[in-house]
């Protein structure tokens, strides 16, 4: 029995497919990688680190744009196959998705043409060799109510979940962030014939140090810390009662690895297509509390001269950062149930608040 999987790099030596039978697989995995978007570089870089060490890596392919990035990958991960191209290399993406068994798209959750090309390539698979597509979205997709009303700093009580509420998640309003590409993925659910299956992984506010090449930190809390350090005083957006969930980058990589494992084994316990939606989160917090903790840490370390917080409105926040009202003033509440129930995913890393001091130190060092 043989099979291939689209995944970062990996060649998995053996998988138990029956109580006493072990099959040898040659898994080929293809990652859509880009060097343009900071948080997405963090996602794929840490996942590549995770999978390269968790599974023997022989047949992993990664899409890279620049010579420098290609050299970095090949030095850190010998044996990884580098494919030179970009998100608009449609023919290349189709061919690589057809070649691979499992495709993970980390590069840009708003890039429509790349998602279409990869899905078109997977559609070339056959019934006896199905393909698997794991798409990275983001829980900014849940902020549509604040976006429509232009509200900030208020608490919304609505909490989405990826178990009983999965039907709602695959049909969120079209004006939601990232929905333009999510809908391209979910539109394939009813395809007949269907020779591939899809899943969407939806991370929230990410923190923690990544282990891969290139960028090693995310944006949301980190840019907040930078702004507080630069202005010398903390701030809160509106009342600061708005809630986001959070997840450590290494816990996120574990979820991607578990889901890829199930794809390689033929689907496993995971659900796909109409039930293939997975939040990744390990807790929730108000942005008022985050702002307070960042400010207190910066003050305690002597980086700023006061622990007082200003209260900013939409326009003033937008002057600091055009995405500030969204990043620090909106609500994004999505409870992760599916990964735990089906895959046994359990976040193990320190909480966001436990990492605030390190985040402040990192951003301070980058300003010096």
- Assign 59 a pLDDT band (cuts: 50, 70, 90): confident
In angstroms, rounded to a whole number, what is the distance separating the alpha carbons of residues 180 and 137?
10
Parse the chain into domains and list their residue ranges: 15-217+247-282+334-347
Tens of pLDDT, residues 252-280: 999 999 999 999 899 999 999 999 999 99
In angstroms, rounded to a whole number, what is the distance separating the alpha carbons of residues 147 and 330?
8
Tens of pLDDT, residues 139-151: 999 999 999 999 9
In angstroms, rounded to a whole number, what is the distance separating the alpha carbons of residues 321 and 38?
16
Tens of pLDDT, residues 273-325: 999 999 999 999 999 999 999 999 999 999 999 999 999 999 999 999 999 99
Q: Which two tokens mark 31?
A: 């990652």
Tens of pLDDT, residues 189-244: 999 889 999 999 999 999 999 998 877 889 999 999 999 999 999 999 999 999 99
pLDDT of residue 28: 57
Burial of 362 (0-12, 13-18, 19+ CB in 10 A): middle
CB 15 within 8 A of CB 23: yes
Q: Where do the H-state alpha helices sit in the chain? A: 38-54, 67-76, 90-99, 112-122, 144-149, 166-169, 179-186, 220-231, 249-264, 287-300, 314-320, 324-329, 338-343, 352-367
Q: Write down the mean pLDDT value for the chain.
A: 88
CA distances for 262 relative to 1, 128, 139, 203, 244, angstroms: 16, 17, 23, 19, 29
pLDDT of residue 16: 23
CATH architecture of residue range(s) 15-217+247-282+334-347: 3-Layer(aba) Sandwich (3.40)
Contacts of 329 (CB under 8 A, 6+ apart): 146, 151, 152, 153, 237, 238, 242, 287, 314, 317
């Amino acid at each position: 029995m043989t099979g291939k999987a689209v995944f970062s790099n990996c060649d998995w030596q053996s998988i138990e497919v029956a109580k006493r039978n072990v099959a040898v697989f040659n898994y080929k995995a293809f990652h859509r990688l880009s060097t343009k978007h900071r948080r997405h570089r963090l996602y794929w870089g840490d996942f590549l680190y995770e999978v390269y060490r968790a599974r023997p890596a022989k047949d992993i392919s990664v899409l890279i744009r620049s010579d420098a990035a290609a050299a970095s990958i090949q030095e850190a991960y010998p044996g990884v196959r580098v494919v030179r191209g970009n998100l608009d290399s449609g023919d290349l993406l189709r061919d690589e998705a057809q070649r691979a068994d499992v495709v993970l798209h980390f590069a840009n959750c708003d890039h429509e043409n790349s998602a279409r090309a990869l899905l078109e390539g997977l559609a070339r698979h056959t019934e006896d060799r199905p393909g698997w597509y794991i798409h990275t979205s983001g829980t900014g997709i849940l902020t549509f109510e604040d976006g429509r009303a232009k509200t900030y700093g208020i608490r919304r009580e609505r909490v989405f979940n990826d178990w009983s509420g999965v039907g709602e998640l695959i049909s969120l309003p079209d004006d939601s962030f990232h929905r333009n590409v999510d809908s391209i993925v979910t539109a394939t659910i009813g395809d007949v014939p269907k020779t591939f299956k899809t899943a969407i992984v939806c991370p929230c506010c990410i923190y923690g140090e990544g282990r891969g090449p290139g960028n090693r930190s995310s944006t949301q809390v980190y840019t907040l810390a930078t702004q507080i350090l630069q202005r010398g005083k903390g701030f809160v957006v509106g009342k600061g009662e708005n809630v986001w969930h959070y997840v450590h980058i290494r816990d996120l990589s574990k979820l991607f690895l578990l889901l890829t494992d199930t794809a390689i084994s033929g689907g496993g316990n995971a659900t796909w297509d109409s039930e293939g939606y997975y939040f990744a989160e390990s807790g929730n917090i108000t942005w008022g509390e985050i702002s307070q903790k960042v400010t207190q840490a910066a003050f305690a370390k002597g980086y700023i001269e006061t622990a007082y917080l200003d209260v900013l409105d939409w326009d003033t926040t937008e002057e600091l950062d055009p995405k500030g009202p969204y990043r620090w003033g909106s609500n994004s509440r999505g409870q992760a149930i599916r990964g735990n129930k089906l895959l046994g995913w359990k976040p193990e890393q320190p909480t966001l608040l436990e990492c605030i001091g390190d985040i402040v130190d990192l951003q301070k060092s980058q300003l010096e």
